[in-house]
């Protein structure tokens, strides 16, 4: 087993509104991917410890991107989120491991800090019911 850092991320691509995959990794400063499962508490009065059942799988991505209004990069890809309702393919790759999922972008919040940094916080959730699965 080789322990690796997250530096030198291979790829983080997101579809634009037309369905064309656009590389955004040169503009993303932070990314989080949560692959979760719902949990139902099925503890009854007859039990002495908690009992649970795993429910549906889900995925949520959040990332921070820098503002760049050049063609086919961060602002250009994300500017249509409020005016379109199309799922976007997110493809993340690091060290030969790939996670590609259909996502709905639920939120893009552009903000400027007091020090003049202009970034967007993006949130996306699983769209099509396909289990989020890493492949090589």
27, 30, 54, 62, 104 from 34: Cα distances, Å = 20, 14, 16, 9, 14
User: Is the pLDDT assigned to residue 44 strictly greater than 60?
Assistant: yes
Q: Which pLDDT value is given to residue 1? A: 56
The count of domains in the chain is 1
Would you say residue 1 lies in a domain?
Answer: no
For the residues 43-50, what does the mean pLDDT come to? 96
CATH of the domain at 110: 2.40.30
> For the whole model, what pTM was predicted?
0.85
Would you say residue 63 lies in a domain?
Answer: yes
Would you say residue 53 lies in a domain?
Answer: yes
Would you say residue 2 lies in a domain?
Answer: no
CA dist., res. 103 & res. 61, Å (int): 9
């Amino acid at each position: 087993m080789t322990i690796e850092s997250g530096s030198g991320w291979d790829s983080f691509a997101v579809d634009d509104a037309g369905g064309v995959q656009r590389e955004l990794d040169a503009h993303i400063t932070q990314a989080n991917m949560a692959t979760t499962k719902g949990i139902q508490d099925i503890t009854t009065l007859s039990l002495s410890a908690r009992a649970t059942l795993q429910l549906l799988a889900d995925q949520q991505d959040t990332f921070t991107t820098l503002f760049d209004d050049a063609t086919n990069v961060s602002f250009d890809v994300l500017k249509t989120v409020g005016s379109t309702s199309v799922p976007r393919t997110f493809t993340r790759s690091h060290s030969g491991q790939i996670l590609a999922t259909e996502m709905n972008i639920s939120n893009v919040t552009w903000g400027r800090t007091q020090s003049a940094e202009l970034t967007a916080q993006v949130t996306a959730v699983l769209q099509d019911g396909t289990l989020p699965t890493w492949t090589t």
